[in-house]
Structure 1
Amino acid sequence: MANERRMLVLRAVIEDYIRTQEPVGSGALTRGHKLGVSSATVRNDMAALEDEGYLVQPHTSAGRIPTEKGYRYFVDKLATVVPLSKAQKRGIRTFLSGSVNLDDTLRRSARLLAQITGQVAVVASPSLARSALRHIEMVPVSSATVLVVVITDTGRVEQRTIVTAARPSEDILNQLGSRINAACQGESLRRAADGIRLFSQDEPDAPMRSFLEAVARVLDELATQEQTSNLYMAGTSQLAHRSVSDMASLASLFDALEEQAVLMRLMTALTEVSQLHGVGIAIGSETHTPGLMHASVITSGYGQSTAGASKTTGDASSDSTTVEPVAFVGSIGPTHMDYASTIPAVRAVAKYLTEFMLNEEGEDETDDDTD
């Protein structure tokens, strides 16, 4: 019972510190929370929590503040997150519905999440390595050049040129495109490339085999672009204005934000691990990033990758394909961020991005308070 009470005291300390960003004393806890015990008992509990590493006293005779261990316990036990209001949910849908293309949607999403949380928002564009082929088209642009246009299920459009000494006619290019689309639509780019190579094996004409191999290499090249996703970022100025009292930590955070490859690896890993409340959370040293030692990262995957999904073959095992997100959306802020409100904001933006990616009108769920 005493241990359970101490954990309630810990939660109260963290909630008050998140709200005030000032060390919390036993008297303030007793007045502000219905803990059912005296100020002296709360003081003893806080001392025990300090001994256990959940709290720290920054100055003699001052109150306590949470440690990284304290925040981690708080987040892991967080039973209630503050749902977005109906107005916020409608605002998200309205704001994103005005987008003109995928890049615009991702850019708008970053700005919107930053406005909701007051922290840095990061949104990654879909990785080609996790994308499936939706459509391929080959267009002759000169006597020796063919433009290959690849459209993926995640909305990415990539163009590459192939220079060939024996360029196929426009009719043959159209026939090849139709054949590839019929056989490879919905396959990962890597598998689509392998499928094109199977076509080439049955092709008696050597120049045509060479051309098909060149098309396969285009898809192979795109499939290797795991680390080339764009990062859309917003909210750095808002965070700076909110946290002027801790400029040293902010300077390190802003330096870390410049290392986009590091952020990409961190947030992708968080998206892939077992997630709490539908999000991945790293606090301070858990980020393994020097510039984020005083920051927390909350991220969630969006979209549903069909790359690599087996087509129906009558084999029951083909129905157990794991659906994976195509990219992530996340929020980065100080360790004393408001986790209870940031978590649903990240989840909501990820959800609406998924709906956009799937191009589903579906049932309007903006009034669902589980977001």
Structure 2
Amino acid sequence: MLDDRKLTVLRAIVTDYVSSQEPVGSKALVERYRLGVSPATVRNDMAVLEDEGYITQPHTSAGRIPTDKGYRLFVDQIGEIKPLSTPERRAIETFMSGAVDMDDVVARTVRLLARLTHQVAIVQYPVISATVIRHVDLIRLGDDDLMVIVVSSNGHVEQHTLTLTVDDEQLAQLRTRLAAAVVDRTAQRAVEALASIDEEFPPQDRAAAQVAVATLLELLGTPPSTRVVVGGVPNLARFASEFESTVGPVLEALEEQVVLLKLLGEAATSDDVLVRIGQEVPYQGLQSTSMVASAYGSQQDVWATLGIVGPTRMDYPSMMASVRAVARYVGRFLA
């Protein structure tokens, strides 16, 4: 256990290093943070922190920088996440207020997180347990070209084109029967209802019905929760010196949906904001980074998660505040 003064010294080292990107010396800490003790006392405290693995000396005669363990203790000592300022909250509301459907909400959320934090933003598509199919349509685009459109109660829109030779009367029958089978049902119930619907059509229309049903099943059968959108990857260029030889594995990991879903999944069971630092990240390609994530949804239901990935040298209090604020606002917006 560290006493209060050593914790204060650690917090000062983390804060100073995040801000300056330079190793921190005892004299600088005393001058900048008014610690009320001599540089010699601070050096003794730094020696203890180094022996305990919370800070390290990158090279001889240099100051100290935090280790992953030091960042972890720093984050654990954050008693309360400060709320964003009124202008920051207003900026979030303004940016999100123009969203027209679920795809737009997710796209805006990714851009917003990347802009607020200057890190890589990752957002999982939400799945709301009460979501039902609100509208299904078949629209003729050309002689044999049709578009199938599915609209969910959460505003999510799926569409797909297909080639099908049907006259206007057959198209109307298809549209009516498909809508009767799926509208006001959850995706799972809709899939069950479509399982044998082709038998309801006259023999001469069953082949066309099977093609339309297969397309509709494809649209209904892809759970949105398996999709993660990534934004702000160019922000990694700001921290090129910190990743050096690891930037390749980081970029590869950010392209793997399964990896990102695994990262975000842990946040779904967390009470508030989840922080994983360096070696704590459960994927080797990202162990030179830190992740800050939070679930979003209603009080009754967690819909999905969102977060950021960046260097371990990040402003954790600000990142945690931004991620939590965006998660809460998106949850209220979708509700």
**Equivalent position of 2:237 in the other structure:** 240
The 1-side partners of 2:17 and 2:84 are apart by: 22
**Equivalent position of 1:180 in the other structure:** 182
Amino acid at match of 2:265: A
**CA RMSD for the aligned pairs?**
3.9
Which residues in structure 2 correspond to 1:320-359 (within 5 Å)?
Answer: 323-326=301-304, 328-358=305-335
Change (3 A) 1:249 1:282: farther
Q: Any idea what SS the aligned residue of 2:78 has? A: coil
Is the 1:271–1:301 Cα contact (8 Å) retained in structure 2? yes
The Cα of 1:51 is off from its aligned counterpart by: 1.5
**Equivalent position of 1:121 in the other structure:** 121
1:132 matched to 2:131? The reply is yes
Change (3 A) 1:178 1:33: same
Change (3 A) 1:191 1:36: farther
Q: Any idea what SS the aligned residue of 2:61 has? A: coil
The 2-side partners of 1:68 and 1:150 are apart by: 47
Amino acid at match of 1:323: D
Moved more, 70-79 or 223-232: 223-232
Which residues in structure 2 correspond to 1:255-294 (within 5 Å)?
Answer: 255-256=251-252, 259-261=255-257, 264-275=260-271, 278-294=272-288
**Equivalent position of 2:54 in the other structure:** 54
Amino acid at match of 2:43: R
Change (3 A) 1:179 1:269: closer
Which residues in structure 2 correspond to 1:107-118 (within 5 Å)?
Answer: 107-118=107-118
**Equivalent position of 1:12 in the other structure:** 12
The 2-side partners of 1:44 and 1:268 are apart by: 40
Is the 2:181–2:190 Cα contact (8 Å) retained in structure 1? no
Is the 1:297–1:332 Cα contact (8 Å) retained in structure 2? yes
The 2-side partners of 1:140 and 1:2 are apart by: 69
Unaligned 5+ residue runs, structure 1?
A: 305-320, 359-371
Is the 1:126–1:154 Cα contact (8 Å) retained in structure 2? no
Deviations 1:301-340 (A, max 9, x none): 3345xxxxxxxxxxxxxxxx961224x3322221111011
**Equivalent position of 1:159 in the other structure:** 159
Moved more, 226-235 or 281-290: 226-235
1:23 matched to 2:23? The reply is yes
Is the 2:114–2:120 Cα contact (8 Å) retained in structure 1? yes
Deviations 1:184-215 (A, max 9, x none): 1xx3x223322444x85996978899958974
The 1-side partners of 2:248 and 2:177 are apart by: 56
1:300 matched to 2:294? The reply is yes
Is the 1:194–1:216 Cα contact (8 Å) retained in structure 2? no
The Cα of 1:90 is off from its aligned counterpart by: 1.0
The Cα of 1:115 is off from its aligned counterpart by: 2.5
Q: Any idea what SS the aligned residue of 1:337 has? A: coil
Is the 1:92–1:349 Cα contact (8 Å) retained in structure 2? yes
Q: Any idea what SS the aligned residue of 1:298 has? A: strand
The 2-side partners of 1:131 and 1:220 are apart by: 21
Is the 1:148–1:162 Cα contact (8 Å) retained in structure 2? no
Deviations 1:154-176 (A, max 9, x none): 42211345969999662574255
The Cα of 1:53 is off from its aligned counterpart by: 1.3
Deviations 1:224-252 (A, max 9, x none): 44676252412624x524x4644616734
The Cα of 1:61 is off from its aligned counterpart by: 2.7
The 2-side partners of 1:356 and 1:322 are apart by: 15
**Equivalent position of 2:188 in the other structure:** 190
Is the 2:120–2:230 Cα contact (8 Å) retained in structure 1? no
Deviations 1:68-89 (A, max 9, x none): 1111121122114343221111
Q: TM-score, normalised by structure 1?
A: 0.72
**Equivalent position of 1:362 in the other structure:** none
The 1-side partners of 2:206 and 2:113 are apart by: 49
Unaligned 5+ residue runs, structure 2?
A: none
Q: Any idea what SS the aligned residue of 1:325 has? A: strand
Q: How many residues matched?
A: 331
Which residues in structure 2 correspond to 1:204-223 (within 5 Å)?
Answer: 211=209, 215=213, 218-219=216-217, 222-223=220-221
